[in-house]
Amino acid sequence: MKKSIGFASAILVLFCLGFAWRDVQNGKLPDPAAFQKLVGISRPAPLSPAQEFKSAYNRIQTAYYRPVKPLELKYAGIGGMMASLGDPHTMFLVPQVAKKFDMDTKANYVGVGARLSTYSIAGKVIGAKAVVVFDDGPGFAAGLRRGDVITAVDGKSIASQAIEDIVDKIMGEEGTIVKLSILRDGKGTLVIPVRRSHVVTPTVESQYFKDSRVGYIFIASFSAPTAEQFDKELEKVERNPLKGLVIDVRGNPGGYLETAVDLLSRFRANKVVVSMKMRDGSLNHEYTSPGLEHNFSYPVVILINGDSASAAEIFSGALRDYKMATLVGTHSYGKASVQEVYDFKDGSSGKITIARYYLPLNSDIGRKVDEDGTYISGGLEPDVEVEPADVLPEDLQANPANKDSDLPDPALDNQLRKAIEVVLQKAG
């Protein structure tokens, strides 16, 4: 009798072990709620977070009075979950956005090699204008020129379409042909066949101001090919007699930290770029590499504004901390964190903040906002502050500048004027 009681209780213990095995596996204590459910105590256990999500997901689809696309709803939910951390840089990217983000950071894609913007007449979109045609792209080789307006792709009109959709149609598999119908100088319909190929987006552009003998380099983003492109443009600029250099990172949203480190290695070797504080509290230091230093024998001014963020701020802030540059413009965005991007198998991505960083002189440039999201502080403060002057939209200008380049003109850009002035002052 005693024996069978012992045996029964042993069985019971083993049963409990099996029941709680999942918790044990996950290194947790057995969950009492599960046991309660087992013996039928019907205290309605609160929904688990996953159940809460699932039940709202189901309910919205069945109870909301309009049809809802399940995929979009799911993505909205995941987006909301990632946004709930209150960090504007931790976010979910739906496949379409993820693809674009990836192309932008890699600055490498298959296409024709042109930058397009919608072109409309009297408020009606009639096509896409090639704002820039990359010199080494397949479009340029096939005869596509800056200012051409694409009105049809493969014979199909693209009137009144969104620029993203137009771009989607023009891009495609490497080696395939896309036929672009072109409106040039407002007349004629030219059809240019272009063989799609790998295109590396120029992220660095330069110009030389003869009258002031100042060089100008614009960095659009810190993408994969940026450091190499910077070297090329720097060489171009340095072919001229140089009193100083203006590097423009206004509107530069950042990119790879590695690229910023690479670029800074042109200026100083073996220097701390940033100290990253990881989630476990440890500090990681990023250093510039040796052997890449370039001799900057002239003063450097960096132009920044509220849209200069992330790697652009690291680049500008570190150079100032090395006492190698003066910052001109308005305060930068103030992004003091590092993100990692995780690609999911349905094509979407998650961008997650994994660390915070500090600049070489230990400054925290983290952006502070009030509860309404209005900027309070943060970002790099410029050494010389210049607010941009108001410029009329092109449509309203009496004599719209008919420029060959989309680079800024000191005559129209007061911040650039100031930067040149400062660089000349430093040059003495």
Partner 1 sequence: MTSEVRRSLQAAAGVFVCIVAIGFGAVLRDKVELSGTKLDISNLVASRTGTTELPETKFFDDIMDLLKKKYVDPINDDRKLADGAVRGMVASLGDPNSLFMDPEQFKVYDNVRKGKYEGIGADVVLVRDRPQGKVQISGEEDSDEGNSRLPKLMIAAVVPGSAADRAGLKAGDWAEFVDDHWIPNSDALDRFEKLFNDVKAHTAKVEDFVKMRKQLRDEEEKHILPIKARDRLMIGAAGTVRTVWVRGDKRITAILGKGEWQMPAFGKETDGAIRLPFVADSAAKLKEALSGKTEATIDLRGNVEGDFDAMTECLDVVAPKGTYGFLVTRRSEKPSPLIVKDGSSAKLKLTLLVDRTTRGVSEIFALALSSRGLAKLSGPPTAGNQAVVRWFALPDGAGYSLVTSEYRPNAPSGALARAPGSVETPFQHEALSPTAGSAIAPDKGARTR
Q: Which of 258, 270, 285, 342 binds partner 1 (CB under 8 A)?
A: 342
Q: How many CA atoms lie within 13 A of 94 on its CB side?
A: 10
CB of 375 to partner 1, least distance (A): 8
Site residues for partner 1, 1-20, by CB under 8 A, read 7, 10-12, 14-20
67 binds partner 1 (CB under 8 A): yes
CB of 212 to partner 1, least distance (A): 27
* Of 258, 281, 245, the residue nearest 427 (C-alpha): 245
Site residues for partner 1, 262-281, by CB under 8 A, read 278-279
CB proximity list for 117: less than 8 A, separation 6 or greater: 128, 129, 131, 163
* Of 207, 219, 278, 206, the residue nearest 251 (C-alpha): 219
Tokens of 320: 């100032």
Which amino acid does the sequence have at 305? N
Overall size of the chain counted in residues: 428
Q: Which of 161, 201, 288, 310 binds partner 1 (CB under 8 A)?
A: 201
CB of 120 to partner 1, least distance (A): 9
Q: Which of 97, 171, 324, 427 binds partner 1 (CB under 8 A)?
A: 171
Q: Which of 6, 9, 41, 48 binds partner 1 (CB under 8 A)?
A: 48
What is d(CA 337, CA 358) in angstroms, rounded to the nearest whole number?
A: 9
Q: Which of 252, 310, 353, 415 binds partner 1 (CB under 8 A)?
A: 353
419 binds partner 1 (CB under 8 A): no
CB of 236 to partner 1, least distance (A): 22
412 binds partner 1 (CB under 8 A): no
Q: Which of 126, 153, 170, 380 binds partner 1 (CB under 8 A)?
A: 170
71 binds partner 1 (CB under 8 A): yes
> Helix 226-238 crosses helix 257-265 at what angle (to 10 degrees)?
30
CB proximity list for 178: less than 8 A, separation 6 or greater: 112, 153, 154, 169, 170, 172, 193, 194, 196
In sequence order, the β-bridge partners of residue 117 are 129
Q: How far is CA 169 from the centre of its chain?
A: 23
Q: Which stretch binds partner 1 (CB under 8 A): 115-123, 182-190, 312-320, 412-420?
A: 115-123
Strands 283-287 and 272-278: antiparallel
Site residues for partner 1, 23-42, by CB under 8 A, read 25-26, 34, 37-38
What is d(CA 116, CA 149) in angstroms, rounded to the nearest whole number?
A: 9
Nearer to partner 1, 170 or 264 (CB): 170
Q: Which of 6, 41, 96, 117 binds partner 1 (CB under 8 A)?
A: 117
CB of 383 to partner 1, least distance (A): 24
DSSP state letter for 257: H
Q: Which of 344, 403, 409, 425 binds partner 1 (CB under 8 A)?
A: 344
Task: Using the CB atoms, write b or e for 317-354: b if 16+ within 10 Å.
Answer: bbbbbbeebbbbbbbbbbbbbbbeeeeeeeebbbbbbe
Nearer to partner 1, 389 or 425 (CB): 389
Nearer to partner 1, 235 or 343 (CB): 343
User: How many chain residues interact with partner 1 (CB under 8 A)?
Assistant: 97
